[in-house]
Amino acid sequence: MSNNPYGTQGYGTQGYGAQTTATGARAPSAPTGGGGGAAPSPAGAADLVKDTTTAKFPADVLQESRRQPVLVDFWAPWCGPCKQLTPILEKVVHAAGGRVKLVKMNIDEHPSIAGQLGVQSIPAVFAFVNGQPVDGFMGALPESEVKAFVDRLTGGAAAGGEDPVAAAFEDAKALLAEGDVTQAAQVFSAILQHDAGHVGALGGLADCYLTMGDAAHARAILDSVPADKAADPAVAGVATRLKLAEEIAELGDPVALQARIEGDADDHQARFDLALIAQARGQRDVAAGHLLEIIRRDRSWNEDGARRKLLEFFEAWGGGDAATKDARRKLSTLLFS
């Protein structure tokens, strides 16, 4: 999910059939019952699922999420996948028995919040905890994955035994996060021998090659991903990192750029270039800090370029990265303050 505080990515997961908010034939009117044409909530449980507006968003979502997690379902009446996802969300939320609430927002009628969060395709689901977005996904996920998402969010137990491929995938991601790139690459390769189309493993293996400085092999793996999976967060993040690496080659001397900022704190281009250099060096907190400072000083600079670049960084780093979480909280504070 590009152009939002979660990125494409590392941001949760991506389901099938997401429709971009700039396209799609609009229906004459919204379906009865709110998001995606779902039926009204059952009697006695209506407080678990509700529709909201821009004016009510702070109370319905930001304040309410301090009591328990709140899912926000961004939908539109012309969006077919929304009509598939919203009933699933409602069912899972009711089954959770109050551990989580669902708030639905029609982006045709109330576009500003979705715009602030950078939503470009729907359905898009954001999870808020303690007034901050902490996770999410886009596209119409199947019920099992929605339930697993809610279980992770609320600490509930996942149903059934653990899938060995899924367990291996989690192990490989952990190895990569710990810096054991060679071992992670071996596990990702083993997964691909079992399932050659495993998008997560393809993205992970490409990430390993890129981390080892082998951009050519990383590109070859990414090029093997089917076109309909290219936007999956598992591969989109690595693709973004390749793009960023190409941008870095065009930049100037960081010492000279720092001198420009010291001479003029509003030299946003110099600060922006320093953010790109810091990202290339792996200095994620420094990179995010430069972009957040531009946003604080002049949100409109370069057509909101600092925020859009920060979202690319989130996508490249992944939603679980400490720098992503910290910068996402700071970005949300800037956007909603």
**Active-site residue among 1, 48, 82, 176?**
82
Beta carbons of 126 and 68 less than 8 angstroms apart: no
**Active-site residue among 1, 48, 70, 79?**
79
Do domains 13-154 and 254-336 share one topology? The answer is no
First to last CA, the chain: 23
Can you tell me the distance from the alpha carbon of 245 to that of 61, in angstroms, rounded to the nearest whole number?
37
Tell which CATH architecture fits domain 164-248: Alpha Horseshoe (1.25)
Can you tell me the distance from the alpha carbon of 266 to that of 198, in angstroms, rounded to the nearest whole number?
46
- pLDDT one-digit tens code per residue, 49-63: 999 999 999 999 999
Instruction: Identify the weakest region by mean pLDDT among 29-43, 195-209, 244-258.
Output: 29-43
Tell which CATH architecture fits domain 13-154: 3-Layer(aba) Sandwich (3.40)
Q: Which residue has the higher pLDDT, 1 or 81?
A: 81
Beta carbons of 309 and 291 less than 8 angstroms apart: yes
User: Any residues with CB less than 8 A from the CB of 5 and at least 6 apart, and which?
Assistant: 117, 118, 133, 311, 314, 328, 331, 332
Across the chain, where does the E strand assignment appear?
A: 13-14, 19-20, 49-51, 70-75, 101-106, 121-122, 124-129, 132-138
Q: Judge: domain 254-336, CATH 3.30.479.30.
A: no
pLDDT band, residue 38 (cuts 50/70/90): very low
208 assigned to active site: no
82 assigned to active site: yes
Mean pLDDT computed over 285-299: 96
pLDDT at position 213, please?
77
- pLDDT one-digit tens code per residue, 130-174: 888 888 888 888 888 898 888 888 875 444 445 567 778 888 888
> Residue 46 above 70 pLDDT?
no
**Domain boundaries along the sequence of the chain:** 13-154, 164-248, 254-336
pLDDT band, residue 251 (cuts 50/70/90): confident
